[in-house]
Amino acid sequence: MPRPRRSFPLLLVTFGCVGLVALACSGSSSDDGSSGGSTATGGSTTTSGGSGNATGGSSARGGSTANGTGGTGNGTGGTANSTSTGGTANSTSTGGTANSTSSGGTANSTSSGGTGALPTDACDGLPFDSAGQGGESSTACTGVSNEAEAVPIDLFFMMDRSVSMANPVPGTNMTRWDALVEAVREFTQSVDGDSIRAGLGFFGISGGNDEELDCNVGNYSKPAVAIGTLGDVGPDMVDAMANMVPGGLTPTGPALEGALAYAAGWATDNPGRATAVVLVTDGYPTQCDPRSVSDVAALAEQAHLMKPYVRTYVVGLGGDDNLDAIAQRGGTHSAFKVDEGDISASFVNALHNVTNSELSCEYALPPPPSSSQKLDLGKVQVTYTLASDGTTEEIPAIPGIESCSKSANGGWYYDVPDDPTSIEVCPCTCARFDAGRVDVRVGCKPRIGPR
């Protein structure tokens, strides 16, 4: 079938360089950032002047909280800070931040929460000042414009081969697995085999209920087909699918963990490209720990938030909305749902959407106009112009993906802060980009988002 066409943002880069060419940009940046915020529940307790406010995006339960440093702090999976004057301050943090201050008494706080899923609904940028310079300068930026290229993508498919994949497709003489084999064949033949790299793995391992094999994470970090250009490995992927017989249970947790480990290793060895895992499944985890969808989603989130930042896409057969949680926390918004009535065509369409959706989230950082010039990484702006009315927004600069959860206006960041090869954007910013235009203005100080 013909590959569906989609509109993607055009990324233009305007260069201002340090070195032999002087910039027309000057001025200082303004800090538009703000720090998180918190919610206290369960009441507060203060003795002899203790106070309670929590900041930094944590949720405090069961006691009072206050800002402070020093004192006594106990942290589990997060940060706990306390200051005590004439009394005792204790705080416990689980996955978040808890701060307490006590003056002449005792203040106790407990914080639970942590990073949680990054916002994935589209978020507006900040009002854009065409003068640039963080909103403070009246001098417009000038430079040389270049069109940047989207970062190419490498995909590792982790395919559910559990016994339910042998279920018949209604109205046909095919099973779900037969339909998936045909879909993989069509996909490998319908895309540019030189630009996309892909690999393949299966779960479970035994095809039965052998937990020693099926629950071993290491078994899933060994691909059935190693990642390679699709033109080279496409036939191997089709053969591997055709030779696999559905059977066994659904050990999603160890399968995803192993797939992410393999993908992370690949990404580390292949910088300058985006790497993602594509989890294909038709149901809930039924074997091995973790079995809850939230715990499996936590694995996807950890890989998404830590270098080398591997995203997780989910393709679901059977319309299970709970699979969305894995995709959301893996940085890819929501699961792609395959139409049970036409599995092959629907699955191919989902895979095309997967290969395309990455393009609006990460961009290659172009080189300077000549080898004698050097880009000033502290003077880079990212703007988005809406196709509908021409309104331009500025995307605030943030230190890294960990700040995305704090920024209501989204943000952009370098893949490697000190030596970047690409510009990446928060999931909510990615969702905002549609058919408009994204500009990167190098030589102008950006608006600064939450740190």
DSSP H stretches of helix in 358-446: 427-432
Rounded-to-integer distance, Cα 373 and Cα 379, Å: 14
- Whether 2 contacts 430, CB under 8 Å: no
Beta-carbon count within 10 A of 415 CB: 23
Closest CA to 101 of 44, 34, 38: 44
Spatial neighbors of 31 by CB under 8 A, at least 6 apart, are: 448
According to DSSP, the β-strands at 362-364 and 373-375 are unpaired
The confidence score (pLDDT) of residue 62 equals: 36
Select from 3.40.50.300, 3.40.50.410, 3.10.580.10, 3.30.465.10 the CATH code of 153-359.
3.40.50.410
- Rounded to 5°, the CA angle 391-395-398 comes to 175
Spatial neighbors of 189 by CB under 8 A, at least 6 apart, are: 234
Rounded-to-integer distance, Cα 308 and Cα 264, Å: 6
Beta-carbon count within 10 A of 403 CB: 20
**Tokens at residue 287, please?**
């074997």
HSE, CB side, 13 Å, CA atoms: give it for residue 96.
Answer: 26
The confidence score (pLDDT) of residue 4 equals: 43
- Whether 226 contacts 232, CB under 8 Å: no
Element containing residue 225 per DSSP (H, E): strand 225-229
User: pLDDT tens digits for the chain (451 residues)?
Assistant: 444 433 334 444 444 443 333 333 333 333 333 333 333 333 333 333 333 333 333 333 333 333 333 333 343 344 434 333 334 334 333 344 334 333 333 333 333 333 445 676 789 999 987 555 554 544 555 545 455 456 778 999 999 999 999 999 888 899 999 999 999 999 999 877 677 899 999 999 999 999 999 999 999 999 999 999 999 999 999 999 999 999 999 999 999 999 999 999 999 999 878 899 999 999 889 999 999 999 999 999 999 888 888 999 999 987 566 899 999 888 887 899 998 778 999 999 988 888 875 445 778 776 665 677 788 888 888 888 887 788 989 999 999 988 998 999 999 999 888 888 888 888 788 878 766 778 888 777 899 998 7
The predicted model scores a pTM of 0.63
Domain residue ranges of the chain, discontinuous segments joined by +: 10-33+122-149+362-442, 39-112, 153-359
User: Which residue type sits at 316?
Assistant: G
For the chain, the residue count is 451
The confidence score (pLDDT) of residue 342 equals: 86
Closest CA to 109 of 68, 154, 152, 148: 68
Rounded-to-integer distance, Cα 325 and Cα 313, Å: 11
